[in-house]
Amino acid sequence: MEVKSEEITGDTAVVKLMLSYGNGETDEELFKLAKEEGEWKIDISK
């Protein structure tokens, strides 16, 4: 897994990750994060 980019605004962030699989394939995914009690966590809210 490699962080390709990040955009932080206050207590929220969007991170683009490059995921590498065992078969050699890769995929880029965007993850929304929220800062809770000083720790970044994946935000699964709608």
Sheet holding 39-42, edge to edge: 2-9, 12-20, 26-36, 39-42
Whole-model pTM: value is: 0.76
pLDDT at 31: 95
Q: Tokens representing 16? A: 């683009």
List pLDDT tens digits, range 1-46: 999 999 999 999 999 999 999 999 999 999 999 999 999 999 987 6
For 27, the 3-state DSSP assignment is strand
Q: Which residue has the tokens 């206050």?
A: 10
Per-residue DSSP letters for 32-45?
EEEEETTEEEE---
